Structure 1
Amino acid sequence: MGEFSHDPSEYIRGIQQILISDKKKIGFLFGAGSSLAKKNEKSLTVPAIGQLTQAIVAEIGGEDAKYEKAFKEIEEELGSGNFNIETILSNLEQKFLFIGKATLNSLNKQEFEELICKIKKGVRDKVSVHLKDGKIVDKDTVVELVQTDFANWIGQAERKFPIEIFTTNYDFLFELGLEHKEIAYYDGFCGSLRAFFNPESVEDFTFLTNQTKLWKIHGSLGWHFDKDTEKILRVNPDDKDILIYPSTLKYKDSKKQPYESLLDRLSNFLKQDDSILITCGYSWGDEHINSRIISALKTNTTSHVIGLFHDKSNPIDEGSPLAKIAKDNPKISIYGSRCAIIGCKFGEWVLKSEPSIDDTVNLNLYFDEDAHFDSKEKIAEEKTGKEIWTGKGAFILSDFGMLVKFLNSMVNENEIKKLGENVKK
């Protein structure tokens, strides 16, 4: 690791100024990690890919021995460490394309198709956390969502341009939060009885200029292709939902409607001057999204991307693919837990000066000085009061829950400032 370092307290002030400014165009790109965030034990969450894989494989394998056997063989082919929903679906779809009249993993072509359908249904069922006993969850449940607190920040923040939310998630957690807080938002669909996707409105930045935008770039529960009208409609979710499932086919599917229009919106958002895109819970593993971001940033604009990258269990290193992206592009900054790439420079997070007790209160909103990445001896030193202050720690805003707390803390600060200004008057 190099000798270069970044002071988190310096960069956080820049982020705060960006978020408070009414001149900036603020967008967020949320991945699966945002649906894992919990406010407390009552919060609804969508299972992580590992948990999702285990549950679906166990359920489908338990229904039929031939599928259980197929899963075991595929796991042997892929290796246990690489056995997940994305690799399983990719494996099955590739075999389905060329199997013909033969059999593979003891399955024929029809059985491969049935298994693929069962897995996709399992994914839909697992992300349908908005339902309880067949009904939409009550308001007492929605109050406990991190997404509801995020909607609170949107409703309280005063700004000239609406917040744009891009997400790869299929679930309804953002919808639940926005609607609970009565935040008017637009998602590309027009109408009431049979709401239809309107690509022209997605392309038009002057359309509903005061409304928050919610762009679900991998689709959503309840999106259907209607053969009669040849339109994308939003109806009750069922097995015919059109989604970009996690497999190698997602790159091909992303070139179809409505996904192409939504990715165009992401590109065009970044092509505007003074646009800031903040990613959180996004792994930077989707090449069709990454390429759009990188291409858009090559235009002559003052836009910038701040990637809050959750890497606590596997810290980003200087040679990783994501570090290379940021080192090659000064308009992309990646904030990991212990390291960051800012201005194309890779370095550790290190505070330049030890904060006072008062400063620590604010510091704790985005940086954990007590986080340990090193030896057990250092942990023991802290317990005995012998530790030496190093300025090192963990940047914590890559956790969606912590990011939302941070955003709402700025709302509270602004309200206190307003009260003080009114008293002076």
Structure 2
Amino acid sequence: MTTHDPSEYIRGIQQILISDKKKIGFLFGAGSSLATKNKNSLTVPAIGKMTSEIVEEVGKVNPTFKTALEAIKESLGEKNFNIETILSNLEQKFSFIGTEKLHSLDKNGFADLIIEIKKGVREKVSVHHISLCDITSKKEFRQIVTKEIVSELVQTDFANWIGQAERRFPIEVFTTNYDFLFELGLEHREIPYYDGFCGSLRAFFNPESVEDFSFLSKQTKLWKIHGSLGWHYDMDTEKILRVSPDDDDILIYPSTLKYKESKKQPYESLMDRLSNFLKQDDAILITCGYSWGDEHINSRIISALKTNTTSHVIGLIFDKYDKIDDKSNVSKIGLDNPKVSIYASRSAVIGCNYGEWKLKSEPSTDDTVNLNLYFDEDGAIDPIQDKNKEVKGEEVWTGKGEFILPDFGKLVKFLNSMVSDNEIKRLGDKLKKKFAENGKK
């Protein structure tokens, strides 16, 4: 069976990230909003937890909603019952229902249920604020989380890497997430960034600036390709504005309508930016927390890679609890595209070849320190207990283990380790130069 040595490929990734000649981009999905440093880290609920909480809360709003959702759950099956399938099911029913009723709901009832579920999604991703109570008026109000909380975000550590890394081209961050976690981290670290909006009082989306790679060419870019809290369509000016978040936020919700919605503004300009980024020479896109389940995004990536460029995509796939194999959809993407490498926890598709991770040689004690930043070795096997081996005596080293960078928190720690290494190297070079000058004197 084919094997891939993680220590060989990690050196390539390090060279890419350290080089100031490469154009580095990241595509972050929902998994990046689950990462934690400690118990104080802000996170957005995973799809399973979010689904159960929203279904329970919506059921309390209207008993008929609860009945309808129970019927949909029975139809879909518990395994396939989640926010995406629920919204898709409801939107399909809403589109064909006439004057009759279904699940005790008429057309208006389905519309109201869809609104309540979308409201629940917005509330669950609004982790940037906390609810407080005014002692005098007894009224509840909200405020942005404190700097102490923001300092504990993994996204803040990611911003730290952006701020420390020396490079010619700015980092481009694409994300499907609606939340403000990346904004909180970047602003806490005082990293200037641009997200496609211009202005101050009523910032407006400027598609021409998104298309122009020379616009604010030194600033980090944050492209929220499924929309964001606070994005509104203003009927008066017919513009997309960025204002305070409320129930009128425009977002691409997880449903079968995603592909249709992505062809509208501002999403079309943002998807074009993703395509054009990959059409550049020496562009590297690293995905993390993204499951490659959005066909409208995948098609853009694959189409862009077919152009005659030296761009490449590295997909970090978190499959710790649901392992991929060579038959998985995401593996097939790598098997069919030499410009796409898939790095999962136990296996990888590199150069259109599927294989498991396995070190070629046992690392030394010094090597293990660096190895632990990206690979968690399996324990040695006791040959007496392993019936497949005829070795007796000492434990057998297997070279196998878990590639841990698909975990956004581990990826960020890995990125920051290179910053530290660079600082140490620069300090060492300065000291050598100083000693050389003193020697001449």
- TM interval, shorter chain, is over 0.9
Q: 1:107 aligns with which of 100, 105, 118?
A: 105
- Partner secondary structure for residue 285 of structure 2: strand
User: Which residue does the alignment assign to 2:68?
Assistant: 70
Deviations 1:99-145 (A, max 9, x none): 11111111111110000000000000000000001100010000000
**CA offset digits 1:137-189 (Å, max 9, x no partner):** 01000000000000000000000000000000000000000000000000000
CA contact (8 A) 1:146 1:404 kept: yes
Which residue is equivalent to 1:367?
Answer: 375
Divergent runs of 4+, >4 A: none
Residue pairs, 1:371-390, within 5 angstroms: 387-390=395-398
Alpha-carbon distance between aligned partners in 1 of 2:341 and 2:184, rounded to the nearest angstrom: 31
Task: State the partner residue of 1:421.
Answer: 429
**Structure 1 gap ranges (5+):** 379-384
The one of 289, 294, 306 equivalent to 1:286 is: 294
Q: Distance in 1 between matches of 2:402 and 2:379?
A: 6
Q: Is 2:338 the partner of 1:330? A: yes
Q: Is the 8 Å Cα contact of residues 380 and 395 (structure 2) preserved in structure 1?
A: no
Question: 1:188: which partner in 2?
Answer: 196
CA separation of 1:371 and 1:98: change in aligned 2, threshold 3 A: farther
Cα gap change, 1:387 to 1:89, in 2 (>3 Å): farther
SS of 1:362's equivalent in the other structure is helix
Q: For 1:387 and 1:314, locate their aligned partners in 2 and report how far apart those are by CA, in whole Å.
A: 29
The DSSP-based 3-state class of the residue aligned with 1:327 is helix
Alignment partner for residue 84 of structure 1, among 82, 85, 90? 82
**Is 2:411 the partner of 1:403?**
yes
CA distance in 1, matches of 2:265, 2:101: 34
Match 1:314 to one of 314, 318, 322: 322
2:28 partner letter? F
Residue among 163, 169, 174 paired with 2:182: 174
Question: Could you tell me how far 1:372 is from its partner in structure 2?
Answer: 10
Is residue 296 from structure 1 mapped to residue 313 from structure 2 by the alignment? no
- 3-state DSSP class of the match of 1:51? helix
Tell me the amino acid that sits aligned with residue 372 of structure 2.
Answer: N
Amino acid at match of 1:82: N
Partner residue of 1:126? 124
How do 1:122-161 and structure 2 match up within 5 A? 122-133=120-131, 134-161=142-169
Q: Distance in 2 between matches of 1:173 and 1:386?
A: 49
SS state of the match for residue 251, structure 1? helix
Q: What is the identity percentage for the equivalent residue pairs of Structure 1 and Structure 2?
A: 76
2:185 is matched by which residue type in structure 1? Answer: G
**d(CA) in 1 for partners of 2:208, 2:146:** 35
Gapped regions of structure 2 (runs ≥ 5): 132-141, 387-392, 434-441
SS state at 1:166 partner: strand
CA contact (8 A) 1:166 1:266 kept: yes
Letter in 2 for 1:74: I
Q: Distance in 2 between matches of 1:188 and 1:392?
A: 44
Give CA-to-partner distance per residue, 1:199-258, whole Å, 9 cap, x none.
Answer: 000000000000000000000000000011110000000000000000001110000000
Distance in 1, Cα, partners of 2:373 & 2:71: 47
What does residue 139 of structure 2 align with?
none
Q: Which residue of 1 aligns with 2:34?
A: 36
Q: Which amino acid aligns with 2:432?
A: K
Amino acid at match of 1:152: N
- Deviation for aligned residue 1:65: 1.4
Would you say the 8 A contact 2:156–2:186 is kept in 1?
Answer: yes
1:261 positional shift? 0.2
* Cα distance between partner residues in 1 of 2:376 and 2:104: 52
The aligned amino acid for 2:13 is I
Q: Does 1:246 align with 2:246?
A: no
State yes or no: 1:59 paired with 2:53.
no
Q: Report the CA distance between 1:323 and its aligned residue.
A: 1.0
Amino acid at match of 2:99: K
Contact 2:378 2:399 in 1 (8 A): no
Which has more radius of gyration? Answer: 2
Partner in structure 1 of residue 134 of structure 2 = none
Q: Judging changes above 3 Å, is the alpha-carbon distance between structure 1 residues 297 and 357 closer, same or farther for their aligned structure 2 residues?
A: same
Question: Which letter maps to 1:172?
Answer: F
